[in-house]
Chain A
Amino acid sequence: MSSKTVPVVEAMNVKKTYMLGKVPVEALRGVNLRVETGDFVSILGPSGSGKSTLLNLIGALDKPTSGTLRIDGIDIAKLNDNQLAELRLRIGFVFQFFNLIPRLTARDNVELPMSIADMNKTERKKRATELLETVGLKERTNHKPAELSGGQQQRVAIARALANNPKFLLLDEPTGNVDSKTASEVLALIQNLNKEQNVSIIMVTHDEKLAHQAKRIIKVFDGEIHSDVVN
């Protein structure tokens, strides 16, 4: 990683305040963070500490209340809704809950981001099949989410996140809803992506053991980064 490359994420004094009626809730109180290409960061912290909030900002789903956040060198505060949507196409996001579209098959779910990105049908079908093969679901391409186990659904979600060849992958509790065996399978998959394809990974988790598999561990507490250590 040469220092000349643009960091995938660069946060400077990022704050996010939600308004609950008239009461402000400070979910992030000034976060400074820099993630380089090829990094594998895990974010640890208690419930309500602001992990999802941070990840949503990095995923360009929302804008910070103040501070500067650059994704792939772009200041997201300056983007309009359309530009934010375009930026999201370059980010792979695995949500806290799997969030697959229930009526679509595994393959159609994986194809969705590609169809949003205007890829043609034959191409995206081919790529979706390949991706499902990569996550070990070759036999399940025509199954709907309800016909898959939790771990399988999570792997479909990962395949979907990888669909448009994202620069980096954001995972919000990817193993939160699966057993420990599945969790280690999913982790192995993520590590593999990071190692072999140099995809930057930012993973939110509750699980200390899992977090320690990452190259770098960030601990969030009450909307602030408490520690940031290289593993």
Chain B
Amino acid sequence: MKGIDVFGYSFSAIKLRKLRAALTTLGVIIGIAAIVALLSITQGLQATITGQLNQGLSANTLIITPSSGSFGGGGFGGGGLSDASSSGFSLHVTDTTEIVALSPDIETAVAIISRSGYVQTENLNRETTIYGVDFEQYAQVYPTFRTTEGTIPTNPSENQVVVGTNINQPGQNGTIFFNTGDTINITWTNATSGLPVNKTYSANVAGVLERIGGLGIGGPSDTGIYIPIEQAQSFFGTDQCNMIIVTVKNNDNATITSVSNAITSHFSNQVSVISATAVLSLLSSVFSTIQLFLIGIAAISLLVAGIGIMNIMIVSLIERTREIGILKALGMKSRSVLAIFLGESVIIGLIGAIIGIGVGWGLAIVASQVLGSGAFSPGAGGGGGASAFTITPLLTPEVLVGALAFGVGVSVIFALYPAWRASKLKPVDALRYE
């Protein structure tokens, strides 16, 4: 029997029991839709985060923080850096010279002192993070540290500052609270010893940063205020820094590993060194685990669908015993009977998978819009930050083909047993069956 005729026959059998076929297909649709939706959201999220990280942290950059304050305290998103490490060990601004001397592969080392504080003008009082950095070096390490307005002074006087775009324009809606050249007040609450004391100084806005968006480890933030490192040392009354950013000349794995090791051992393992490569590989392994877990859950629903298919096929096999007898008596070979039954499952699997992919994709779009509209904005440094972080769901060809194959595969696998039983029926017995 020709393939097309086998297929046509399978189809005529499905058409006879439309509701039954539709319900069976629904199982596949739900399973595939769940898989596609979950995967395209997580893959979209991963692509977004990876993209942002790549922007914020180039491959030749290493971030050094005191161990106890490592990753979490080190300020994912640029806000809320811990003031001091609890272990008693601290990094100092002067450590940068020692670090540069550690290896010829090291290009620069930039210290960052950061504190939560407030920025005030006549009409504005906004929470922010104050970063003390060497402007020139910081701009070399992070190309995104560049202005849309004004300039970044190479030899800044102590009261010159550079602000993130969300500071002078919190709503990003055209309402600008101050401009380059204006004076703003910077306040920090010193709560390290005794009663909290507010310290304030007047600063002159030298430049406003271009919009950066998203996440950056150690990199410039739309919600930050940047002051010269010397000013930070005297204003915050410390020479301890929160992190040191190191750039290396080669970004191959060997260099990064050897430099990382040199730094860690120089500080007697009391620092952690984060590289883009390490973060990205950590991130991708985290995402793989999440995806595996989600696929696992979705696969259970597909398994249930598969059992439904098997159930329906066995019922259908019993109902059609006589029909199978006729087909065999007319000269149909066992393998054609097998093909007819498997054909029915292929049709159900294929239709289910195609609709499921569509539904899943739709769900992913809806879900990403719901998530993007609120829950997933990084919102560092307090209110008003409209740096909405959108997830664009991603449907890779792998997921597409995989979902199709999975839908059809599960249907066929669960149809194998009933189809095999159908093909093994003896024509005489099947014809006698009432």
Q: Hey, which bits of chain A sit against chain B, CB under 8 A?
A: 56, 59, 61-62, 81-82, 85-89, 93, 95, 99-101, 103-104, 108, 112-113, 115-118, 160, 164
Contact = CB atoms under 8 A, between A and B. Distances in A.
A104 B13 CA distance: 10
Contact of B331 (A95, A99, A101, A117): A117
Contacts of A117: 331
A118 B2 contact: yes
Contact of B1 (A62, A93, A116): A116
B1 A118 contact: yes
A117 B327 CA distance: 12
A230 B20 CA distance: 55
Interface stretch (B32-40, B110-118, B425-433): B425-433
A116 B330 contact: yes
A2 B331 CA distance: 30
B301 to A, nearest CB: 31
A89 B330 CA distance: 6
A108 B15 CA distance: 15
Given A62-B426, A116-B336, A95 B329 contact: yes
A116 B331 contact: yes
Given A88-B328, A115-B1, 18 more contacts: A56-B428, A81-B333, A81-B334, A82-B333, A85-B334, A86-B333, A87-B331, A88-B329, A88-B331, A89-B330, A93-B330, A95-B329, A99-B322, A99-B326, A112-B330, A115-B2, A118-B1, A160-B330
B332 interface: yes
Contacts of B426: 62
Contacts of B15: 103
Query: Chain B: interface secondary structure?
Result: helix
A126 B325 CA distance: 26
B332 A85 contact: yes
Interface centre among A62, A101, A108, A117 (most CB of B within 10 A): A101
Given A103-B12, A103-B16, A118-B1, A82 B329 contact: no
A1 B196 CA distance: 123
Contacts of A113: 330-331
B12 to A, nearest CB: 6
Nearest to A88: B331
10 contacts: A61-B428, A81-B333, A85-B332, A86-B333, A87-B331, A89-B330, A89-B331, A104-B12, A115-B9, A116-B336
Contact of B5 (A59, A93, A99, A115): A115
B326 to A, nearest CB: 5
Contacts of B13: 103
A62 B428 contact: yes
B105 interface: no
Nearest to B12: A103
Nearest to A111: B5
Closest 3 CB pairs of A and B: A89-B331, A88-B331, A115-B5
Contact of B329 (A93, A104, A115, A118): A93
